[in-house]
Structure 1
Amino acid sequence: MATPLTHTRPRVLAFWLIFAGVVGWYAAFQLTVEKFHAYENPGSAAGCDFSLLVQCTENLNSWQGAVFGFPNPIIGLTAWMAPIVVGFAILAGARFARWFWILFWGGMLFAFCFVAWLISQSIYDLHTLCPWCMVTWSVTIPSFYAVTVHLLRSGIVPVGKKTRRVFESLMSWVPLIAILSYALVALLAQLKLDWLSYL
């Protein structure tokens, strides 16, 4: 027997996806502008360069800043449109098929893993904290958590009733889990970069 679907119109999730998408897109746009500025003015500092530790230039000029052969922010300019569209579609009454949610979650998983890798590269290889990158991290992490919990609580991923109840209760804990994730990143950065000494 197929698992019945619930939470087919998750309004709170929809509002969050729109908010996260707008914030993430704006961060990607700012980084793209900085990249164009660097092309036009070689050797100049980016507007988001505040110190040797907190800056964008090192990240944008590194190979990690163009993993697929073009600047990473271009990925953000296109990819962040997806949660915005999905969020507005949910509010408009759209009901998505299971395969659509799975594909959407796959995109969120890729974004989460990519961000986790970029965080590690920033801290342990580039030794910088890029402001607009951190804005992107701050919305990618909870977005992945929220979409994952939604799929498991709603029956989109077929799990038992007890498991669904567990994830139902976990949705309200997503903000705290995200904050703990931020704290972990801050701790790793402190241990490696001693960012508190720059305050």
Structure 2
Amino acid sequence: MPDSPRRSRPVGLAVFLLIAGALGLLAAFELSMEKVLLLSDPAHIPSCNVGVLVGCSTNLSSWQGAVFGFSNPFLGLMAWPVVITIAVAILAGATFSRWFWAAFNVGVAGALIFVGWLIYQSIYVLDVLCPWCMLTWAVTIPTFWALTLYNLREGHIPVSARVRRLAGSWLSWVPLITVVCYAVVVLLAQAQMNAVPRVLIDLQNARG
């Protein structure tokens, strides 16, 4: 049975992707600018450096910040405009084939895996929380869940009818699932870094 018109044009998903893409692009742009400024002036202090725990310079200067031989934020400058373009195309009435949705999902899943690795490196290796990096984490996580559950519900990813029904019911729970994921990251950061009091101290020192 063909999909209904409502499901063939997921306006809600498109609006979310547009917002997430814009926020991700903002984070990538800010980090890229800071990286360029650091390259031109090693003494430059990034505006996102709030204190010992909260800052960008450690991440940008580490090998983890340039895994593929260039600064990680440059990936965001390339990837997030794709997300924005897809969202705008959907809002304009475009429809995509199953293979396109599946390929899109693979790309977002790859982004989530990379973000998970970066979260681990920040918490357990670098001992620093980068504000713009965290914004990237914050939008990548719900993007993965929203897109994956949508694709499962629509059958773009081959699954049983039962899984499709479950994905459809879980789709409305994406905000809660996202909050749970955020909570896990916060708990890991607190357990490893004693993050909450250190962040508060950094913020107080920045204001003082």
TM-score of Structure 1 vs Structure 2, range by shorter chain:
over 0.9
Please state how far the C-alpha of 1:173 moved relative to its aligned partner.
0.3
CA contact under 8 A between 1:21 and 1:81: conserved in structure 2? yes
Give the whole-Å Cα distance in 2 for the aligned partners of 1:53 and 1:15. 34
What amino acid sits opposite 1:14 in the alignment? A
Please state how far the C-alpha of 1:44 moved relative to its aligned partner.
2.7
SS of alignment partner, residue 45 of structure 2:
coil
Please state how far the C-alpha of 1:164 moved relative to its aligned partner.
1.3
Task: Give the corresponding residue for 1:133.
Answer: 133
Please state how far the C-alpha of 1:5 moved relative to its aligned partner.
3.8
Moved more, 99-108 or 150-159: 150-159
CA contact under 8 A between 1:23 and 1:139: conserved in structure 2? yes
SS of alignment partner, residue 80 of structure 1:
helix
Unmatched segments (≥5 aa) in structure 1:
none
Task: Give the corresponding residue for 1:156.
Answer: 156
Please state how far the C-alpha of 1:159 moved relative to its aligned partner.
2.3
Q: Displaced runs of 4+ in structure 1, greater than 2 A?
A: 3-6, 158-162
Please state how far the C-alpha of 1:36 moved relative to its aligned partner.
1.1
Summarize the alignment of residues 4-83 of structure 1 with structure 2, pairs less than 5 Å apart.
Answer: 4-5=2-3, 7-83=7-83
Please state how far the C-alpha of 1:82 moved relative to its aligned partner.
1.3
Q: CA RMSD in A?
A: 1.1
Please state how far the C-alpha of 1:4 moved relative to its aligned partner.
4.3
Summarize the alignment of residues 168-187 of structure 1 with structure 2, pairs less than 5 Å apart.
Answer: 168-187=168-187
What amino acid sits opposite 2:156 in the alignment? I
Task: Give the corresponding residue for 2:92.
Answer: 92
Give the whole-Å Cα distance in 2 for the aligned partners of 1:164 and 1:4. 15
Task: Give the corresponding residue for 1:105.
Answer: 105
Give the whole-Å Cα distance in 2 for the aligned partners of 1:158 and 1:4. 15
Give the whole-Å Cα distance in 2 for the aligned partners of 1:185 and 1:119. 8
What amino acid sits opposite 1:76 in the alignment? G
What amino acid sits opposite 2:159 in the alignment? V
Please state how far the C-alpha of 1:115 moved relative to its aligned partner.
0.2
CA contact under 8 A between 1:4 and 1:155: conserved in structure 2? no
CA contact under 8 A between 1:152 and 1:167: conserved in structure 2? yes
SS of alignment partner, residue 173 of structure 2:
helix
Give the whole-Å Cα distance in 2 for the aligned partners of 1:57 and 1:48. 8
Moved more, 57-66 or 87-96: 87-96
CA contact under 8 A between 1:5 and 1:155: conserved in structure 2? no
SS of alignment partner, residue 94 of structure 1:
coil
Normalization by structure 1: what TM-score? Answer: 0.96
Normalization by structure 2: what TM-score? Answer: 0.92
Give the whole-Å Cα distance in 2 for the aligned partners of 1:158 and 1:196. 42
Please state how far the C-alpha of 1:128 moved relative to its aligned partner.
0.3
Deviations 1:67-108 (A, max 9, x none): 000000100001001110111111111110011111101110
